[in-house]
Structure 1
Amino acid sequence: MDLGVSHYNTNVQVRTLEALILRLPTTSTPTRSTPKRSKQRRAKRLSDQQVGELTAAYQAGDTVYDLAERFKINRKTVSGILHRAGVQIRGRLTPDQIDEAARLYAAGWSLARVGAMLGTTANTVRARLVERGARTRDTQGRER
């Protein structure tokens, strides 16, 4: 938009724009809404007793999601607490279990069957086998 003034003098531009603003119809004063900022949150620290309860509940079968809701913390925080406490996370496979999974899969077992035997999911088994460089089969048994 050409205001008929040179562009290098900002003072002239500001005065020109202010004059144009004054000529606009005034229906109501625009209110500036300040953006709502979320309240800064502090990380919740669990006491040693709560960590003990959390690990015992996990070992008794509660899921990470259940524990996150119960203790009002993030699921990743629950996983971190369990990891620091030395608790074996369900769904994770040990190197020996991965070896066994590779052997069974090579013998013709399905990923779902291997996962069920190892107490984890087919996706977990597939991911660990792919990490090791194993080639997977499609649903018809053909190599991909």
Structure 2
Amino acid sequence: MADIVDIAVSAGSFNTLVQAVQAAGLVETLKSPGPFTVFAPNDDAFAKLPPGTIQTLVQNIPQLTRILTYHVVSGKLMKADLEQLQTLTSVEGSPLPLMFIEGFEVKNATVVAPDIEADNGVIHVIDTVLLMG
């Protein structure tokens, strides 16, 4: 198997996320033993953001880091584990609400591919970038 970063790079659908993680200096963290649960926005999710948002964030590393760490939870939590919970606390420190009504949602994003296992955790692919507030 591979770690979270290697899986994201090889998938080919997380190019924007990988660039953001590199810009924020979080590559080594997400390659560490963890384990981590990552709600990973795919490239289509980033494409939904208003034009210029990504460029603005890359120029504001503290804000970019806060948004990226809002997508990460400590521990390896598979979908079955998450179904028992209503809220998680992100590495950033804010709550992440979970919903299992007509599918699997975290905050305002739908999980389009759950339970992608990595050596140091699990990735759940989401269709929307999670923003705090």
Same fold per superposition (TM over 0.5):
no
Would you tell me which structure has more helix in proportion to its own residues?
A: 1
TM-score category, normalised to shorter length: under 0.3
Larger Rg: 1
Give the TM-score normalised by the residue count of structure 1.
0.24
Give the TM-score normalised by the residue count of structure 2.
0.25
